Amino acid sequence: MSKLAVAFLLLSSVCCAQAPSGFEPASTNVWGAEYPRVDATGRAEFRVKAPDATKVQVDFWGNPKLDMVKQPDGFWTVTSASLVPGFHYYSLVVDGAEVNDPGSHTFFGGGKDASAIEVPEAGSSYYLPQDVPHGAVREIWYFSKVTGTWRHALVYTPPEYDSQSKTRYPVLYLQHGGGEDETGWIKQGHANFILDNLIAGKAAKPMIVVMAYGYARHAGQPDPDMGGKPFGSPDMMKAMQQMAQAFEDDLTQVLVPYVDSNFRTISDRDHRAMAGLSMGGMQTFQVTFDHLDMFSYIGGFSGAAGQLMLGNKALDPKTDFNGAMADPAEFAKKVHLLWLGVGTEEPAMMHAGIARMHSSLDDAKIQHIYYESPGTSHEWQTWRRDLKDFAPRLFQAGTAKP
Amino acid sequence: MSKLAVAFLLLSSVCCAQAPSGFEPASTNVWGAEYPRVDATGRAEFRVKAPDATKVQVDFWGNPKLDMVKQPDGFWTVTSASLVPGFHYYSLVVDGAEVNDPGSHTFFGGGKDASAIEVPEAGSSYYLPQDVPHGAVREIWYFSKVTGTWRHALVYTPPEYDSQSKTRYPVLYLQHGGGEDETGWIKQGHANFILDNLIAGKAAKPMIVVMAYGYARHAGQPDPDMGGKPFGSPDMMKAMQQMAQAFEDDLTQVLVPYVDSNFRTISDRDHRAMAGLSMGGMQTFQVTFDHLDMFSYIGGFSGAAGQLMLGNKALDPKTDFNGAMADPAEFAKKVHLLWLGVGTEEPAMMHAGIARMHSSLDDAKIQHIYYESPGTSHEWQTWRRDLKDFAPRLFQAGTAKP
């Protein structure tokens, strides 16, 4: 069959979504795909064609897999129990092969373009497009002397950025998690809609948001050989530290200057924030505490400095974070915001690590904000809520010397 | 396993691409994926894990499928013959389920987020990022009164758009093909790099490029029921016409005014062009000939008016295109550019249809450009070349009354 005919047939095949009562196609679906679909209680129905397979499952990445049931027409189907509202990655497992659901759009997570399903949260619209002025999200490409490669980033500019051509704006650097990429905060997180809605409601100041690609290697640095190395082994930690350093150097030496040259930013530390989720939270702590001359607002969304986050050790305010907290009063003057968040349902190790960091900060009388997202795990609904709480606190302080 | 651990492990698993001599990971791969990979002759090697499958194939959408061979480690592998340089969609077929390759990024085509492999073209860099000033690609969201929904579009702004804040620019509306979406011209086509390079070389005028979502339904219009309707049947044609009309109304009544309000455009017909590939070419002919008061440059990339494109009938210059060609001299004054392109290896019906339209235009002495892309089929390398030939011809004419 010619591709033309394929295109026409697909065009026809994507035109006929017919949802039975109660279940509606997920908002994360491709145009017209009838499955997966969700109902008001958060149950999800899946359906996929695999006529010659002997076993097909739905895998929500870590939870027990759902066995699908083969129908006489060669399709496999299953309905889940009620899911927590929000965004959930999933895979299909077809005779041992972990693959995407053709009915779902893909979202970069787990190191690949992965399927996902959005379960609406009743009464929540803060992360959905509303009839308010919209900012734009720009794709930029810049050549990095640090990595020796072209790099891609996304930049949110607030409503009126183009029309108010003399106004300069503060900047939030906002990082994705491990296995995700620079598209995550828009595609999965809806950061642009969250900001649009906060700005329209005068809850947050208009700001630029920069979302960088979180992986980097120094130019000429060979690929680390980590195949088969156990998690936490010295070789693996060394490779991760190299990557983290290359990312820090790219961000601080190339990307920040690029953004300050190419966007109307206010280019001082009082008007520069950084936050990130999970791995991006670890990167945020490393980058900001290494460069307090550049950043004064710090957010860790289900992420903190590595060993603290994992609960391996307690915070030592005298030495941790390059000793920036040794004098709590000085710290509060210098760092306008230190923000920590975690979901109540996150894996115990992570929840305990971040909660412990929070109490250590309290004990040491280090000014900070601690937020718990009720009922959510290490997932995007937590991080959407984090951003909704974090962004309004930015760029409200007076200026202070580093 | 917790998602945190998953994220860390993935982070490690994506760090270790080790290409053996001759083959390199494809540029379309996700970070660090070793497969698929290509060699200098255009051969592609595929590898996928499917330990319990009984049959796994690589499917280039219409060509004979490649049977993969199971290895003792549960992975399946195969090496293709040399592929035509450019961008090729493909699927894996695992026991009858058509799925993506986790090693490949996805690209919206065939009505889903699909795998693809880029085969480099020796000596061609016009569609690759170069060390030249780069434009930005912006995501915009606008509410359409025509469809009653939020719609997403991409907008390329040329280098210096932000710094030359008084300059206004002409606009090209550039449409994807059937089964693709508004992301295609950037992700698959590299339209931004093509424009960057042409503008840097002074071969094309700086312009804004708007890429709209090519599917639409009028607000309140029910989904057309086309399930099981044969290709070309009256019901299916009617549904496609309804969609085409809704798209035309959205583009001309909502998107063009939105772009003219939100970007520094030159908002007259002499500075507005439209082109599209395949289905997008059909839409271009419909929209522009219905609205010659709005457009004066017209491009069909492997696409033309439907029946002409498919070779079902010859061009009738007196009546086709709303009679706009009835007087060739008037037409040449009004339409600054009518451009047709097709790949030499496209399916015979399509190639013949467009070539026949070209000779009919010649016979009727209708001024136009006809371009054949050597050695390429109904695929992105054809359309990249089309854009490279088409864009330099835009906005060079003097002004003329419609």
Phi and psi dihedrals of B18, rounded to 5? -130, 95
Per-residue pLDDT, B117: 98
Residues of B whose CB is below 8 A from A156: none
| C-beta atoms of A134 and B113 within 8 A | no
Average the pLDDT over A360-368 and give the result.
93
Nearest-Cα residue of chain B relative to residue A76: B97
Band (B230; pLDDT cuts 50, 70, 90):
low
Cα separation, B273 vs B207, in Å, equals 10
B window 177-236, beta carbon within 8 A of A? 177-179, 181, 186, 192, 215, 223-227, 229, 231, 236
3-state secondary structure of B338: strand
Cα separation, B94 vs B110, in Å, equals 18
Q: Which helix (H) or strand (E) holds B237?
A: helix B234-250
Tell me: pLDDT of A7 over 50: no
Residue A331: how many other CB atoms lie within 10 Å: 21
Strands A69-70 and B75-79 turn out to be unpaired
B window 327-386, beta carbon within 8 A of A? 347, 349-350, 377-379
CA dist list (Å): A203 to A385, B67, B360, B374: 14, 58, 62, 57
Strands B272-277 and B171-175 turn out to be parallel
Percent of chain A with pLDDT over 90: 76
Task: Check if the beta carbon of residue A293 is closer than 8 Å to that of residue A270.
Answer: no
Band (B11; pLDDT cuts 50, 70, 90):
very low
Mark A178-191 as b/e (b = at least 16 C-beta within 10 Å).
Answer: bbbbbbbbbbbbbb
Average pLDDT over all residues of chain B = 89
- DSSP, residue by residue, A350-398: HHHHHHHHHHHHHHTT---EEEEETT--SSHHHHHHHHHHHGGGTT-S-
Kindly indicate whether the ipTM for this predicted assembly is greater than 0.90, answering yes or no: no
Torsion of CA A331, A332, A338, A339, to 10 degrees: 150
Q: Which helix (H) or strand (E) holds A48?
A: strand A44-49
Task: Check if the beta carbon of residue A182 is closer than 8 Å to that of residue A152.
Answer: yes
Cα separation, A395 vs B34, in Å, equals 43
Residue A64 contacts B where some CB pair is shorter than 8 Å: no
pTM recorded for the entire structure: 0.86
Residue A279: how many other CB atoms lie within 10 Å: 29
Nearest-Cα residue of chain B relative to residue A108: B105
Looking at per-residue pLDDT, the higher value among A231 and B201 belongs to B201
Q: What is the tens place of the pLDDT at every residue in A24-67?
A: 999 999 988 999 999 999 999 999 999 999 999 999 997 789 99
Average the pLDDT over B306-325 and give the result.
78
Average pLDDT over all residues of chain A = 89
Q: How far B118 CA lies from chain A's nearest CA (Å)?
A: 17
Average the pLDDT over B334-344 and give the result.
96
Residue A79: how many other CB atoms lie within 10 Å: 17
Residue A32 contacts B where some CB pair is shorter than 8 Å: yes
Per-residue pLDDT, B392: 98
Residue A258 contacts B where some CB pair is shorter than 8 Å: no
Q: What is the tens place of the pLDDT at every residue in B350-372?
A: 899 899 999 999 999 999 999 99
Per-residue pLDDT, A308: 67
Residues of A whose CB is below 8 A from B131: 143
| C-beta atoms of B113 and A143 within 8 A | no
Band (B306; pLDDT cuts 50, 70, 90):
low
Band (B247; pLDDT cuts 50, 70, 90):
very high
Q: What is the tens place of the pLDDT at every residue in A74-84?
A: 999 999 999 99
- DSSP, residue by residue, A243-297: HHHHHHHHIIIIIHHHHHHHS-B--SGGGEEEEEETHHHHHHHHHHHH-TTT--E
Average the pLDDT over B297-311 and give the result.
79
Residue with tokens 């796994």: B56
- Residues 6+ away with beta carbon under 8 Å from B241: none
Q: What is the tens place of the pLDDT at every residue in A131-185?
A: 999 999 999 999 999 999 999 999 999 999 988 889 999 999 999 999 999 999 9
| C-beta atoms of B99 and A92 within 8 A | yes
Residue B52: how many other CB atoms lie within 10 Å: 15
Residue A292 contacts B where some CB pair is shorter than 8 Å: no
Cα separation, B282 vs B247, in Å, equals 12
Looking at per-residue pLDDT, the higher value among B4 and B149 belongs to B149
